[in-house]
Structure 1
Amino acid sequence: MNIAIVGAGIVGVTTAYELARDGHEVTVFDQRSAAAEEASFATAGLLAPLLLSPWALPGYGLPLRLLGAQATLRVAGGLNQRNLAWLWRWRAAGLAHSAPATALERLAQYSQARVQTIAQQHELDFEASEGRLVLLRTEAERTTLQPALQVLRDLGMAAHEIDAAAAQKLEPGLSPETALAGAIHLPGAGAGNCRLFAQLLRQGTQGSGVHFAFNTRIERIHSAPTGLQVHGEPDLRRFDAVVLCAGMASAALLPALGLRLPMTAVYGYSVSAPLREDTHAPRASVVDLGHQISITRLGQRVRIAGGAELAGADAAHHAPTLQRLYRTLNDWFPGGAQLSSGLQVWRGARTMLPDGAPVLGASGVPGLWLNTGHGAGGWALACGSARALADLIAQREPEVSLDGLGMRRF
């Protein structure tokens, strides 16, 4: 088949890889000039398990606070009707624990295994690390985490509740000056550089059945015949199938086909800093549950990521959120990173649906497939989502269940 993919982020690139592996001719369209330039650019880097990552699913992690200095989600510039409706559904999903947590965690584990397989087959060095600590500042945080831990236990995943002394042995750089009630040790957790993986995979696939069309904006998706209308071109580009992997652009392209998804852009931040002192920096990745901030070792850098806000794409960086990132790093790993120079500060969008899960599979429109809306789990779910979607297109049963992740739930 001749297949078009809209979006060259981590989801689009991995989807192109899997479809080309199945023998399809693939063209990837993106409005930016390179792969992984938007939501995949400077992510936290966390792979599975998904449920113990910041902002993974509503209701798994921090209590849902909408007001005050400790709000889970910061609202800036006022709420429009669409965001208000999304926020209402997001809060309801969190209170009811209605997100498809088990299906997503299975997909995340499957995806992590697929990342490792691809990396080994193609010798991709993407600054990977293994193991994670979820740091608990209070015993109340341990209680809050129990629903997510129960999902992991039911799936047979290792999640060890340990005390502060054991956490210190696993991450010797942890500051003893910061109060630590305990931690959750996830020996099977993974992390790595999302953008680097996407770029390496893109370089490997180009010319092997995959073509990339950068600086190309899609005006409309057509059915009967299936194809794409490219900005500035009078004629329709025809394809046998189109896969939509375009983040927030997906929400803009779907209404013309009679489809709507309740997506919104939730912006987060990351700071990537040069390694300063190896023994004072994290060995792998840690998550501060109370602050919903992750600190991850990526090669010779440390990346601190967190924050969640409903605001415009051009909104100014929120100084208090960035200060919270710096403060959290200094709480746990003082002296581990160089913060006076060489910093990369990034603000990027997570394209989120109210239940935190993506939409995977057939759209209901002939020829159009969906692999979009991964939210905070884009990197953690990308390789598994791509392989499962390729199987669906080939009319094969995916190796992982996608129950609860389809278009019908909306």
Structure 2
Amino acid sequence: MKIAIVGAGIAGMTTAYELARDGHDITVFEQRSAVAEEASFATGSLLAPLLPSAWALPGFGQPLRLWGADATLRMKGGLSVAHLAWLRRWRQTALRKKAPAMALEALARYSQTRLEAMAARHELDFEAVKGRLLLLRNEAELAAIEPALQILRDTGHAVHQITPEAARKLEPGLHSETPLAAALHIPGASAGNCRLFAHMLRQAIQGLGVTFELNATVERISSNPVAITVRGDTQARHFDAVVLCTGSAPAALMSPLGLVLPLVALHGYTVSAPLREATHAPVASVTDVAQHINITRLGQRVRVAGGAELAGPGAAHHAPTLQRLYSAVNEWFPGGVQLSAGVQIWRGARWMTPDGAPVIGASGIPGIWLNLAHGSHGWALACGSARATADLIAQRAPEVSLEGLGMRRF
């Protein structure tokens, strides 16, 4: 089949890879001048498991603080009625624990397996690290994330509660004076550099004959016949199928087709800083459960991720949110990173549904497929979502259940 993929973030790149390996003729359209330039640019780096992440599914993590200087979900001026309606649905999902947690965690684990196979096949070194510690300051924090931990156990993840002393043996750089009641060790967890992986994968994809069209903005998708219109073209380009993997305002392409999803752009922050003293920096990855902040070693850098904003267009960086990220890395790993020079600050938009899960599979319109709205979990779900999408297009049953992740739930 001749297939167009819209979007060259991590979802688009992995989907192109899987479809090309199945023998399809693939063209990837990306509005930026390079791959992985938007939501995949400087992710929080975490792969499976999902639920202990800084921004877990609604109802499966530490309660979010919506007001005050230390709010973990910040709302800024310029919000629309759609923003407020989304937030209301998000909170209802959290209270009722209706998010498809089991399916999503299973998909993340499957995705991790697929990613490791791809990396081994093409010898991709993407600064991967193994293992994660969840840092707990008190028993209340442990109780809050217990529903998430049970899902992890049910999906086969090993989770070990350990003492502060044992945690500091695994992560010697942890500051001895920072209060720590206990920690949870997830030895099978992993993390890595999403953007680096995407760029390496592009080389492998080109060997499979995939065509990339960069600086190409898709303005319209037609369904009968299946075609796309690229800005500047005088005629539509015809394909057998189109897969929407766009992380940039997907509603603009979906709405004219009659496809409506409750999506908003939730912005998150990362700070990437060079190592100052390796023995004082993290070995792998840790999560400050109360603060919803992840700190991960990526080669010769450390990435600190956290913060969440519902904001109108053009919102500036929020200094207090960034300060919390700086404070967290200094609190847990003082002296480990250099914060006075060579620091990269990133604020990215992540399109999310009210249940925090992506939309994968048939759109309901012949020839139009969806693999989008992964939110903050795009990196963790990309390889599994891509393989499942390719299987569906080939009319094969995916190896992992996608129950609760399709278009029909909305």
TM range (shorter): over 0.9
Where 1:354 maps in the other structure, the secondary structure is coil
Cα pair 1:270 1:345 within 8 Å, conserved: yes
- Is the aligned partner of 1:188 residue 2:177? no
Deviation, structure 1 residue 292: 0.4
Q: Distance in 2 between matches of 1:317 and 1:338?
A: 21
Cα pair 1:132 1:190 within 8 Å, conserved: yes
> Paired residue for 1:140?
140
Cα pair 2:293 2:306 within 8 Å, conserved: yes
Q: Distance in 2 between matches of 1:208 and 1:242?
A: 19
> Paired residue for 2:227?
227
Moved more, 160-169 or 184-193: 160-169
Cα pair 1:23 1:209 within 8 Å, conserved: no
Under a length normalisation based on structure 2, what TM-score does the superposition of the two structures give? 0.99
Q: Distance in 2 between matches of 1:132 and 1:288?
A: 11
Cα pair 1:64 1:91 within 8 Å, conserved: no
Deviation, structure 1 residue 203: 1.8
Instruction: Give the AA of the match of 1:362.
Output: A
Give per-residue Cα distances to partners, 1:306-338, cap 9 Å, x unaligned. 000011342211000000000000110001101
> Paired residue for 1:125?
125
Give per-residue Cα distances to partners, 1:118-150, cap 9 Å, x unaligned. 000000000000000011122110000100001
Give per-residue Cα distances to partners, 1:80-100, cap 9 Å, x unaligned. 111011111011111111000
Q: Distance in 2 between matches of 1:402 and 1:231?
A: 34
Same amino acid, percent of matched pairs = 69
> Paired residue for 1:110?
110
> Paired residue for 2:340?
340
> Paired residue for 2:242?
242
- Is the aligned partner of 1:51 residue 2:64? no
> Paired residue for 1:321?
321
Q: Distance in 2 between matches of 1:312 and 1:273?
A: 28
Q: Distance in 2 between matches of 1:262 and 1:228?
A: 23
Where 2:392 maps in the other structure, the secondary structure is helix
Deviation, structure 1 residue 72: 2.8
Cα pair 2:69 2:320 within 8 Å, conserved: no
> Paired residue for 2:401?
401
| Mapping of residues 154-303 of structure 1, within 5 Å | 154-303=154-303
The alignment's C-alpha RMSD in Å is: 0.9
Give per-residue Cα distances to partners, 1:29-72, cap 9 Å, x unaligned. 11100000000000010000001111121111121332222323
Q: Distance in 2 between matches of 1:10 and 1:173?
A: 31
Q: Distance in 2 between matches of 1:216 and 1:13?
A: 15
Instruction: Give the AA of the match of 1:64.
Output: L
Where 1:197 maps in the other structure, the secondary structure is helix
> Paired residue for 2:66?
66
Moved more, 14-23 or 58-67: 58-67
Moved more, 9-18 or 57-66: 57-66
- Is the aligned partner of 1:351 residue 2:330? no
Instruction: Give the AA of the match of 2:11.
Output: V
Under a length normalisation based on structure 1, what TM-score does the superposition of the two structures give? 0.99
Cα pair 1:9 1:37 within 8 Å, conserved: yes
Cα pair 1:363 1:407 within 8 Å, conserved: yes
Q: Distance in 2 between matches of 1:213 and 1:172?
A: 46
Q: Distance in 2 between matches of 1:77 and 1:248?
A: 21
List, as ranges, runs of 4+ consecutive aligned residues in structure 1 with deviation greater than 6 Å. none
Q: Distance in 1 between matches of 2:267 and 2:307?
A: 7
Cα pair 2:244 2:372 within 8 Å, conserved: yes
Where 1:249 maps in the other structure, the secondary structure is coil
Moved more, 362-371 or 71-80: 71-80
> Paired residue for 2:98?
98
Q: Distance in 2 between matches of 1:297 and 1:142?
A: 24
Q: Distance in 2 between matches of 1:69 and 1:98?
A: 29
Deviation, structure 1 residue 187: 0.1
Where 2:369 maps in the other structure, the secondary structure is strand
Cα pair 1:248 1:264 within 8 Å, conserved: no
Cα pair 2:38 2:247 within 8 Å, conserved: no
Instruction: Give the AA of the match of 2:383.
Output: C
Moved more, 359-368 or 250-259: 250-259
Where 1:120 maps in the other structure, the secondary structure is helix
Deviation, structure 1 residue 207: 4.7
Give per-residue Cα distances to partners, 1:221-279, cap 9 Å, x unaligned. 10010010111112110000000000243222111001101110010111110011111
Cα pair 1:24 1:209 within 8 Å, conserved: no
